[in-house]
Amino acid sequence: AQTVTQSQPEMSVQEAETVTLSCTYDTSESNYYLFWYKQPPSRQMILVIRQEAYKQQNATENRFSVNFQKAAKSFSLKISDSQLGDTAMYFCAIEGGTSYGKLTFGQGTILTVHP
């Protein structure tokens, strides 16, 4: 079984500042993938960033980047130059390499960006 833990129920940040959301996971799979999804107030789930576990290089997507520490089973999300539109719930998720794409999600972190 796979588990994902997000230890920060809520976070807040000022506009234009940087914030980091934490995520730890556990899996017995040797090949797996990690994701961060964003769920704004509309509740539409949006993929933010993806990391393949076999890649050592941390993934980046514009203002979003991850710090992937495989040995520590840690996968944090850094949002730079925070914008009001980044206000949302953020979910960390894991997919085992042989699981037909099934995702296991963490409980989420509510991020509020203040003007």
Residues lying near another protein in the complex (CB under 8 A) are found at 4, 31, 33, 42-45, 47, 50, 52, 91, 95, 97, 100-108
* Closer by beta carbon to another protein, 31 or else 83: 31
Across 1-108, the runs of DSSP E, i.e. the strands, are 3-5, 10-14, 19-21, 24-26, 32-39, 46-52, 60-61, 64-69, 74-79, 88-96, 104-105
* Closer by beta carbon to another protein, 52 or else 67: 52
Min dist. Cβ of residue 55 to another protein (A): 9
Min dist. Cβ of residue 77 to another protein (A): 15
Q: How far apart are the first and last CA of the chain?
A: 41
Min dist. Cβ of residue 62 to another protein (A): 18
Residue 67 is encoded by which pair of tokens? 């710090």
* Closer by beta carbon to another protein, 18 or else 60: 60
* Closer by beta carbon to another protein, 16 or else 40: 40
Q: Count of CB atoms within 10 A of residue 82's CB?
A: 21
Min dist. Cβ of residue 73 to another protein (A): 18
Q: Count of CB atoms within 10 A of residue 76's CB?
A: 17
